[in-house]
A and B are shown apart, each in its own frame.
Chain A
Amino acid sequence: MKSRIPITLVVAALIFFAGYAALFIAPDERTMHEIQRIFYFHLGSWTAMFTALTIAFVANVGWLLTRKPRWDWLGVSAVEVGVVACTSGLITGVLWGKPAWGIWWTWDARLTTCFILWLLYISYLILRGLIDEPQRRATLSAVFGIFAFLDAPLVYVSNRLWRTQHPAPVLFGGADSGLDPTMVKVLLFSMCAMLALMLVVLADRYRLERMRHELDELRVAAETRSLSAGPALTSATRG
Chain B
Amino acid sequence: MSTARAAAILLAKELRLELRTRELLNATIVFALVVVVLFSFSFDPTSAESRRLGPGLLWIAFLFAGSLMLHPSFGREQINQTLDALRMAPISPFALLLGKIFANFLFLSAAEVILIPIFAVLYNVSLMGVIWKLAIVLALGTAGLCITGTVFSAIAAHARMRELLLPLLLLPILAPLLIAAVEATASLFAERPGLDRTWLAFLAGFDIVFLTASWLLSDFLLDE
Contact = CB atoms under 8 A, between A and B. Distances in A.
A and B found bound together: yes
A120 B175 CA distance: 11
A139 B220 contact: yes
Given A123-B169, A154-B209, A140 B155 contact: yes
Query: How many of chain B's residues touch chain A, expressed as a range?
Result: 20 to 34
Given A127-B159, A162-B183, A140 B173 contact: no
Contact of B165 (A127, A133, A143, A161): A127
Main secondary structure of the interface of A (DSSP, over half): helix
Contacts of A112: 175
B159 A130 contact: yes
A157 B159 CA distance: 32
B206 interface: yes
Given A127-B165, A130-B165, A154-B209, A64 B176 contact: no
A50 to B, nearest CB: 18
A158 B176 contact: yes
B172 A147 contact: no
B169 A127 contact: yes
Interface in A97-144: 112, 116, 119-120, 123, 126-127, 130-133, 135-136, 139-140, 142-144
A7 interface: no
Contacts of A116: 172, 175
Contacts of B209: 150, 154
Interface of A: 64, 112, 116, 119-120, 123, 126-127, 130-133, 135-136, 139-140, 142-144, 146-148, 150-151, 154-155, 157-159, 161-162
